[in-house]
Chains A and B, each alone.
Chain A
Amino acid sequence: DVKVTQSSRYLVKRTGEKVFLECVQDMDHENMFWYRQDPGLGLRLIYFSYDVKMKEKGDIPEGYSVSREKKERFSLILESASTNQTSMYLCASRPIAGGRVEQYFGPGTRLTVT
């Protein structure tokens, strides 16, 4: 089974702090994704990565950056957390070979910025 893990289930940070959200997958997937999930808005793509050190902006990249130094790990960084970044953050991964196009999700991190 594919396993995607996220470093924290719940996180509380103060406005202005630098926040790191970590995601690790164990299936050697090339593509990794960060989404935020808000009630009534569904999931919105923040950033994705299709290879080590490669990244592309998603639909809502403002206020976020990412890092992918190793294939299995994809980090989301909030340079200066703000209250409007309070949300659920979901990481996902998928392979690019084998005809599989579905994404596999981690358990999510509920981030509260006060």
Chain B
Amino acid sequence: AQTVTQSQPEMSVQEAETVTLSCTYDTSESDYYLFWYKQPPSRQMILVIRQEAYKQQNATENRFSVNFQKAAKSFSLKISDSQLGDAAMYFCALTTQGGSEKLVFGKGMKLTVNP
């Protein structure tokens, strides 16, 4: 069975600063994908970034980047130059290739951005 753990239920950051959200996971599969999803107060869940386990290079999307440590089963999200619009719930998620392609989510973390 796959599990995803987000140990910090809430974090805050000052506008323009950098913040790192942590996530650990467990899976016995060798082929899997990791995601960070963002859910703003309007509730539409949107994909922030994805990482393929077979890729050594960390994924980046503009101000968002990940630190993927495969051996440690760690997948953190770094948000640079934080903006007020980054305030949201952030969910770390895992899916394995093949099988049912189900997503397993962490419990989420609420990020507050202070002006």
Contacts and interface: CB of A to CB of B under 8 A. Distances in A.
Interface of A: 31, 33, 40-45, 48, 50, 56, 58, 88, 90, 92, 94, 96, 101-108
Interface of B: 9, 33, 35, 37, 42-47, 50, 91, 95, 97, 100-103, 105-108
A53 B33 CA distance: 27
Contacts of B42: 107
Contact of B102 (A45, A88, A105, A107): A45
Give chain A's interface secondary structure class: strand
Give chain B's interface secondary structure class: loop
Identify the interface centre among A58, A88, A105: most chain B CB within 10 Å of its CB.
Answer: A105
A40 B105 CA distance: 12
Given A102-B47, A103-B103, A42 B91 contact: yes
